[in-house]
Amino acid sequence: MARAFILVLDSFGIGSAPDAGKYGDKGANTLLHIAEFCAAGRADNKRRRGALSVPNLCRLGLNEALAAACGRRLPAAAGEKAQKLIGAYAVGQEISAGKDTPSGHWEMMGLPVPKAWGSFPPPRPGDPAFDKGSYFPRALLEKIYQKGGISGSLGNCAASGTEIIARLGAEHVAGGKPIFYTSGDSVFQVAAHEDIFGLARLYDLCTLIRQEMDFYNVGRVIARPFAGTAEQGFKRTNNRRDWTMPPAEPTLFDYVKKQGGTTIAIGKIADIFAHQAIDKVIKAYGTADLFAATVQQIKAAPDNSLTMTNFVDFDQNFGHRRDIAGYAAELELFDRLLPQIFPLLRPEDLLVITADHGCDPTWSGNDHTREYVPQLFHSAAIAPVNCGKHLGFADMGQTVAAWLGVGPLRHGISYLDIMLGKSPAM
């Protein structure tokens, strides 16, 4: 019986989308720019050196997907060990408004987000609704202080998560006020020392903030616990949690459950979908551990199951931090691990590798970038064909739904017939 495994390389874009100019991202290309920096020797560090090497992803069609997206191919060394293709490939263009993580994930699972979520832009100078320098309305902050039993907050601005705890961590520890911050995404983030402020208290505070976010149509509240001291430095821990607005319509997870199948979420997938229609939640941290958890589910997941893993470190640790060498090293780690999966797949299994948006580490700022994403498919039953360029990530979800026999979804067009040789390749 059929099973499907979707591996999301968070932020792995392959070229600026046609509407990238609206977001200030025209010319962004996460994969190509990383490869070019590596080829020029500008992405060498203790973890890696030389040209980018991702031959296994190239065997699945990554290079072809890149060429279809932007008309460029990777420098030769990236796929030097690649032989014939063993996967079908397509290019996805997001139609959801914005370039946030939930909108990308929801769209690929059959639910585009046509209206942009709310965000917290810089306040207009002199606006009486805001305190000086605050990105959050005074009325919102006062409500949070009252309900949360806190005397105030630090930050209240747009910031990098690592930068703001380095800057305000000591003041937070001394005075007990949590650190509030946002970004270009639809997020309200709360950083607090998990031992001194308390992890349970941080989660409770984020829960009540989530209740206030519906008014502002904000997609996520994120708890960012950290540990350490001012003397030795502060470091974020693995106890991050996201409180996401629930999907307004059914996603592929709902369709699988409705047909009696099993849904498995690894990493932060369950949080992204507000735990809606998820049977089994598996927490893992770091690319190697997330991959190991995925391998375990390929061995153990039952028939009629859908497993989805988010590999967050590409985005969280390297894209947003504009760490080109780190992103390259993580791609090479994932590529080295990938061959573990192939011999474990049953003839009725479908493997999908994709992304939710871009986050070009060579780009200015530290926000996501509006890009095409690769959609790579592998199964013993499908041909290594070009499935084309598609408007909407939901076509991928519709294809997986057809594979599992649980569709059709409300959005998207399946290209399963192309992969099965029943329709001509694109």
pLDDT, tens only, 327-345: 999 999 999 999 999 999 9
Confidence check: pLDDT of 395 > 80: yes
3-state helix, strand, coil in the chain (%, to 5): 35, 20, 45
- The structure tokens listed for 342 are 């192939």
Q: How far apart (Å, rounded) are the C-alpha atoms in residues 133 and 124?
A: 9
Residue ranges of alpha helices (H) inside 101-240 are 101-108, 138-148, 161-175, 199-216
pLDDT band at 12 (very low <50, low <70, confident <90, very high): very high
The domains of the chain are located at 3-114+245-419, 138-242
pLDDT, tens only, 165-183: 999 999 999 999 999 999 9
Confidence check: pLDDT of 80 > 90: no
Q: What is the pLDDT of residue 132?
A: 86
| Fold agreement between 3-114+245-419 and 138-242 | no
Q: How far apart (Å, rounded) are the C-alpha atoms in residues 57 and 15?
A: 17
Confidence check: pLDDT of 77 > 70: no
- Full-model pTM: 0.93
Q: What angle is formed at CA 232 by the lines to CA 230 and CA 236, rounded to 5 degrees?
A: 80
pLDDT more than 70, % of the chain: 98
Confidence check: pLDDT of 63 > 60: yes
CATH topology of domain 138-242: Alpha-Beta Plaits (3.30.70)
Under 8 Å CB-to-CB from 77, ≥6 apart: which residues? 39, 50, 51, 52, 53
CATH topology of domain 3-114+245-419: Alkaline Phosphatase, subunit A (3.40.720)
